[in-house]
Amino acid sequence: MASPRLGFRLAVCLLNVSEARKQDVVETIAKAALCDKPGQKKTQTTVLNIFSDYDYNRSVLTLAGPIETLGHSVVAACTEAYNLIDMEQHDGIHPCLGSVDLVPIYPLSECVSLEECGKVAHDIAESLSHDVPDCSMFYFGYADQPHKRSLVQRRKELNWYKRSNLNVNDIKPDVGTTVSPRYGLTGIGASPYVMNCNVTVDTQDLNIGQLIASAVRGANPGGLRGIQAMAFPHEGTVEIACNVESFKDKPPMPMTEESTKYISYYIEGEEHFYFAPISIERQIKKLAASYGVKTVGTALVGFTPEHCKCLAEQAIREGYGAFWRKRKTITM
């Protein structure tokens, strides 16, 4: 539950923007979330981390703060991103539809509900439609009422995974009338925390990467539950990019060293489980070996939900809005 020293009810936004090659642009977006311009009041939001990938031309900014005020910071950051990123000029290997591609709101404190996060997502969309009239958005998760369609389902419906075959004129956004060529389409929603765990395989054969991604994907027989995976060519190798979703059903016990390892956390008193990054790495390593290749590294984009909550509490307690800068000088 929330730290009694702080009394904050914390949530987090893992803001995905379609820019990674101009770090000054990415950091300007991060600073906007802090509202630290002259004459503006600083918020209690902290930017815990900035993860940028040159080949993907995509950055993920971890914005955490009280659920009651986080939306204002997210709107400020998104508005800046819309101003600075032109989708007509974008080039990168990661699928995307918008200059602000994804705005997921996740609860961090146990007492913050998914319904509240969905309401914040709606408020963000309403504010952005007013501040940036030509932007357009689709809802997912607890912002997509009453259907609560998942992000994966919405992306499939929009052909997000095959952008080259997409005709934006065929898209009817949930917010906005048409899709602007400059801003593109933004996904806004709420769900239990989703981690991003990327495992690098030492091969240039994308077909091997795609076979591994398919085998680890939770929707396929033998896959890891809650895992969405794609394979991309990356810096002369292949990266298996995994979205790690949580689930409620308690995993079978006992579990041996060779079996999967789960970690749990709570939302409103309900226990949720997700695969530990080490289990994902172990499974991909085993699959890669079956094709005669090795894994050469694993990167967690951001944090586990527990680590994210602890860092957010520390950053707010110590008054570090630009916490990502502090993290460069210390070992976490």
Asked whether 103 and 124 are in contact (CB, 8 A), the reply is yes
Give burial (CB, 10 Å; 0-12/13-18/19+) of 70.
Answer: buried
Which of 3-12, 177-186, 193-202, 315-324 has the weakest average pLDDT? Answer: 3-12
d(Cα 332, Cα 313) in Å, to the nearest integer? 14
Which ranges of the chain does DSSP label H, i.e. alpha helix? 23-34, 67-84, 114-131, 151-158, 206-216, 277-290, 305-318, 323-327
d(Cα 292, Cα 286) in Å, to the nearest integer? 10
d(Cα 112, Cα 280) in Å, to the nearest integer? 28
- Quote the tokens at residue 281: 């790495």
pLDDT above 50 for 3: no
Which ranges of 67-113 does DSSP label H, i.e. alpha helix? 67-84
- Quote the tokens at residue 251: 């995993």
* CATH fold for the domain made of 10-191+305-327: Formiminotransferase-cyclodeaminase; Chain B, domain 1 (3.30.990)
The predicted structure's pLDDT at residue 5:
47
Domain coordinates in residue numbering, the chain: 10-191+305-327, 195-300
Give burial (CB, 10 Å; 0-12/13-18/19+) of 283.
Answer: buried
d(Cα 36, Cα 229) in Å, to the nearest integer? 37
For residue 322, which of 49, 59, 70, 110 has the smallest C-alpha distance? 49
Asked whether 226 and 245 are in contact (CB, 8 A), the reply is yes
Query: In CATH terms, is domain 195-300 a member of 3.40.50.300?
Result: no
pLDDT in tens, 288-305: 999 999 999 999 998 999
The predicted structure's pLDDT at residue 100:
98
For residue 107, which of 49, 152, 43, 64 has the smallest C-alpha distance? 64
- How does residue 39 score in pLDDT terms, banded at 50, 70 and 90? low
Spatial CB neighbours of 3, under 8 Å, sequence gap ≥ 6:
313
- How does residue 332 score in pLDDT terms, banded at 50, 70 and 90? very low
d(Cα 84, Cα 78) in Å, to the nearest integer? 10
Spatial CB neighbours of 167, under 8 Å, sequence gap ≥ 6:
none
Q: Quote the mean pLDDT of the chain.
A: 90
Helix (H, G, I), strand (E, B) or coil at 140: strand
pLDDT in tens, 85-108: 999 999 999 999 999 999 999 999
- How does residue 170 score in pLDDT terms, banded at 50, 70 and 90? confident
In the chain, how long is the greatest CA-to-CA distance?
60
- How does residue 217 score in pLDDT terms, banded at 50, 70 and 90? very high
- How does residue 250 score in pLDDT terms, banded at 50, 70 and 90? confident
For residue 321, which of 131, 20, 73 has the smallest C-alpha distance? 73
d(Cα 272, Cα 278) in Å, to the nearest integer? 18
pLDDT above 80 for 7: no
Q: What's the average model confidence in pLDDT over 33-51? A: 80
